[in-house]
Amino acid sequence: MVSKAYQLEYDGYWREPNVGGMSDNSGIYCVYSCVFNASEKTVTLKKVLYIGESENIRERISSHEKWDAWKSKLTSGQQLCLSAALINGDADRRRAEAAMINKHKPPCNTEYVNAFPYDQTSIATSGKNGLLDPNFTVYRS
């Protein structure tokens, strides 16, 4: 058994109109429903809707096929909000993404929600990691 551990420091939050400001680097991103307070310039996160990975986060988000699915989960007054953590290497990025999905079970993800195909994987999240478990371990299922 080859266990792995990842430290994911999330940066964000980008509301839907501002996703062009997201990193063009490799990493994992989270899509949330949120409420924006314009006078205080703050967001209140409501729910993790989707977790994904990409070699180029900004490019992936801008052309993502699930925008309609994400928006269908919003209630009145909510909008989409995103955060991202940089991580290099295709295999590591996919494994960390799978662990995040398996732990948090976002409603717009299907793969990895009920099964985890990797050996023991530990994740520590920090930064703009609202609604994400800061420390957890997922096991092959």
Confidence of residue 17 (pLDDT cuts 50, 70, 90): confident
Q: Residue 12: its pLDDT value, please?
A: 87
| pTM across the whole model | 0.96
Q: Residue 32: its pLDDT value, please?
A: 98
Checking if the pLDDT of 1 tops 70, the result is no
- Mean of pLDDT over the chain: 96
Q: What is the CATH number of domain 4-138?
A: 3.40.1440.10
Q: Do the Cβ atoms of 88 and 95 come closer than 8 Å?
A: no
3-state secondary structure 71-129: HHCCCCCCEEEEEEEECCCHHHHHHHHHHHHHHHCCCCCCCCCCCCCCCCEEEEEEECC
Give the tens place of pLDDT for each residue, 86-105. 999 999 999 999 999 999 99
Checking if the pLDDT of 126 tops 80, the result is yes
Checking if the pLDDT of 111 tops 90, the result is yes
Q: Residue 119: its pLDDT value, please?
A: 97
